[in-house]
Structure 1
Amino acid sequence: MLRLLLLGICGLLVVSGCTKAAPRCTAPEDNPLHHYLRGMEALETGKVDVALQKFDRSSYCEEEFSQAHSGLAITHAMMAKSQGDAGFRSVEAGRALDELKKADKFANTEEEKFDYQLARIRVATILKGEDWVRTAEGACREALDLKVDEKQLVYYQGKEAANYFMGVAYLESLQFAKARDQFQKVLDSRSNGKWHEKADRAWKKVDRIVRAMAGITVGDVGKKIAVKETVTRADLAALLVDELMIDKLFAGRVASQSQVQAMKPEFTPADMVNSPFKEEVATVMKWKVRGLEPKYDETTKAYLFKPEDPVTRGEMAFILEDVLIKLTGDSKIATAYFGQEKSPFPDVRTTSPYFNAVMNMTTRGIMEGELSGDFRVNDPVEGAEALLAIRVLKQKINIY
């Protein structure tokens, strides 16, 4: 009897040992791959909180699902970047690196390894730790060396994704020529892949930067502004002072050195007292650059510079026109196109306050309209556009 009881217990142990744990997620779409894909798509649109939920669910469904941890690594890196507090930023950065280790540990297929290497590139680019560019370059090489079935790359869809994100890394590190080469590789890989449109936009942006920098020495301020999607009033003041060197050039147009030394701005706007661009703004105010004057603020009842306000393309034309007038001494430029009956740009009427400036800039090739015919007068100026316009302006007036 005792023998039979022991045999029965052993049998139960064998059966229980062979029985798999019940799956945590059983609904058709409640699976780790589905949640991973939705999480990556959420990251594309900047919905970091949604991405975190999706990757957490993906990892819950399958704890050792490598791609879930790759997604979590990118998410925590983005969360670290958005943190203002150094302590919280460090915590999130640590979580990102921990998730990368898990993604590496659990990666079994070539496709999972590819996603892990892409996560390495992206995390390095976001966190910018020690020697981060070299880390991204190593990850890119390893990703491209993998023999993946591109049909199984459910999110990235092609190996050229590695070139795209390496291009982003080079752009972030201000290595513009290398960035352009990587984006070109994406464009050469296939005619209409997932990353083709983004790479095309990025290539055009970087190409403008490379052209803007050709033949001139661009300082650190210029390089950092070149990559910006929107140029602010403070940015433009810095470009005019540091890249165009208007203080030196304008001073050369004044006969008396004592007059130059006596010149100074009428006041320092309250919002510029602690600004890193305080001196540059003081310079443009000293020379009374039209379009970069302080603005009256109804809330504070004071004149402020508004350093973070974006500069539109119409305003950029207006500002550069004034610089051109001051440098050439030709006051007729300010009214050269007054009275013209028809505008070549559908979005800039002849009665627009920017019309004369737009015409002066476009006829001299300092700024360009679009293929559609519009000037995009109310669109914000990109950093690359601003840098290129300043370079052409230098050439037109033979500064060097």
Structure 2
Amino acid sequence: MKMKMKQSLIFFTGMLLILSFVGCGKKVTPQSIEDNPAHHYLMGMELIDQGMPDKAFVRFERAVALDPEYAPAIAGKALVYAIRAEAESDEKYSAADAERAVDQFDKAVSEASSDRTYKFGVYVTGIRIYTRIASRGWLERAEDLYSDAKLMVKEVKEEDLPYYRNIEALHYFMGEAYFKGGEFRKAEDILGIVLAASPGKWHDKSNALYTRCQKILRAMSNYTLTDVAKKIAVKDKVDRADVAALLVDELHMDRLFAGRIPVPGKNMKASFTPADVVGHMFEPEIMTVLKWNVRGLQPIYDETTRAELFFPKKPMTRKELAFVLEDVLIKLTGDKTMSSQHLGQDKSLYPDVNPTDAWYNAIVTVVNRNLMETDLSGAFSPDGNMDGADLILSLMRLRNIMNVY
């Protein structure tokens, strides 16, 4: 008993010593030439790019230990908290991380007050932070930071921006904020500023996001997207539940098929409700899709549970969406031969799809009708994930075809 008490005393004494050192904010002694705040900050930001925020946090902590007033690293810690808040499903924990993110960001702004270059970099990170936490009024706060950072541009020394490198980073991340906020026209305009400048670190990313904006804006040229559709449109990859939701909410699939497909009873329903659909926010839409037995969105047998499940969070691949779109066309037109029109070809039309692949016919069908596109090389990328912008554009084009029938 005495031994346990002694061990506990040693533990708590050690913890108090650690906390006292942290509280004092004393600098630690560098262990090597590369053991400096700027290096650890740069490594931390690159780890965030690689999807390793926890490892990045360790780097930022080391930078702050070496220099407690090093604003870029303090802002880096805030960004990690924001990433955690975005990923956290529990609202309570998410809110706590979001609060930590804002507190650390405010501290970074305070520490950078005497250096315009550091402050510029901190403000760019701040836009990223508010984009991640997406709390009430986040977009307006990001706009304020953008406006303030623009006033500093003439005083910024780009060579002292170890990670961002050039001022175009400001425009790129504000464009990303507008994109997430559903302000696609504003996102397109501001990303255009980056593309008009000499190619730099943020040029390719801006071009990719600019292209996604254009796809969504083209889709919206004839139709007004619902709020749900706008939220799905900005996703890097959509899941099966997203596709079901848009088929029902944007294409009004239930009403569309009701008068075209003969059913034995007036109140047609899905044969069963998969267990993983119960309580899902898109449960009604998923059940509607199951009712019409849309190919590519049928239940999947799960070996673990030995049950047919829908897997609402499973990412939708491009070949799977091709099946979905082709099946909708078949049900819409009543032309069942469509599912086999392109079978038996000796040579594939696409370098990454074999004519014997089960999805080959569906891909040819949707590409020929301009519902989906290949890349510049002619490749279809059948196993690639669908992003929200491509999904929205495909469904709006399908909607135009529907108007013909």
Relative to the length of structure 1, the TM-score reads 0.88
- 1:232 is the counterpart of 2:234: no
1:51 Cα deviation from its structure 2 partner? 1.7
CA–CA distance in structure 2, aligned partners of residues 375 and 23 of structure 1: 54
**Equivalent position amino acid for 2:131 in 1:** T
1:83 Cα deviation from its structure 2 partner? 3.4
CA–CA distance in structure 1, aligned partners of residues 89 and 286 of structure 2: 27
Secondary structure of 2:301's counterpart equals: strand
Larger Rg: 1
CA–CA distance in structure 2, aligned partners of residues 143 and 393 of structure 1: 43
Residue-by-residue CA offset, 1:146-199 (whole Å, 9 max, x unaligned): 1212122221111111111101111111111111222211111222x1111111
Structure 1 range deviating more: 342-351 or 132-141:
342-351
Percent identity among equivalent residues? 43
Residue-by-residue CA offset, 1:329-375 (whole Å, 9 max, x unaligned): 22222222233332211222222211221111111111111211211
When the two structures are aligned, how many residues end up with a matched partner? 377
Residue-by-residue CA offset, 1:26-65 (whole Å, 9 max, x unaligned): 6322222222222222222222222222222211212222
Q: Does the 8 Å CA contact 1:232/1:309 hold for their aligned counterparts?
A: yes
Aligned to 1:8: none
1:46 corresponds to which of 34, 48, 51: 51
Structure 1 range deviating more: 91-100 or 176-185:
91-100
- 1:355 is the counterpart of 2:355: no
Relative to the length of structure 2, the TM-score reads 0.87
Aligned to 1:212: 219
**Equivalent position amino acid for 1:391 in 2:** M
Aligned to 1:222: 229
1:255 Cα deviation from its structure 2 partner? 6.9
Q: Does the 8 Å CA contact 2:27/2:66 hold for their aligned counterparts?
A: no
Aligned to 2:23: none
1:399 Cα deviation from its structure 2 partner? 5.3
Secondary structure of 2:308's counterpart equals: strand
Aligned to 1:127: 133
Q: Does the 8 Å CA contact 2:27/2:65 hold for their aligned counterparts?
A: no
- 1:251 is the counterpart of 2:258: yes
- 1:156 is the counterpart of 2:164: yes
Q: Which aligned pairs between 1:56-135 and structure 2 lie closer than 5 A? A: 56-107=61-112, 108-135=114-141
CA–CA distance in structure 1, aligned partners of residues 276 and 185 of structure 2: 37
Q: Which aligned pairs between 1:1-400 and structure 2 lie closer than 5 A? A: 24-25=29-30, 27-107=32-112, 108-146=114-152, 147-191=155-199, 193-254=200-261, 261-398=266-403
CA–CA distance in structure 2, aligned partners of residues 165 and 22 of structure 1: 32
1:249 Cα deviation from its structure 2 partner? 0.8
Question: Over aligned residue pairs, what C-alpha RMSD do you find?
Answer: 2.1
Aligned to 2:11: none
Q: Does the 8 Å CA contact 1:143/1:159 hold for their aligned counterparts?
A: no
Structure 1 range deviating more: 51-60 or 137-146:
51-60
Residue-by-residue CA offset, 1:58-98 (whole Å, 9 max, x unaligned): 11212222222222221222233333444433333332222
Q: Which runs of 5+ in 1 are unaligned?
A: 1-20
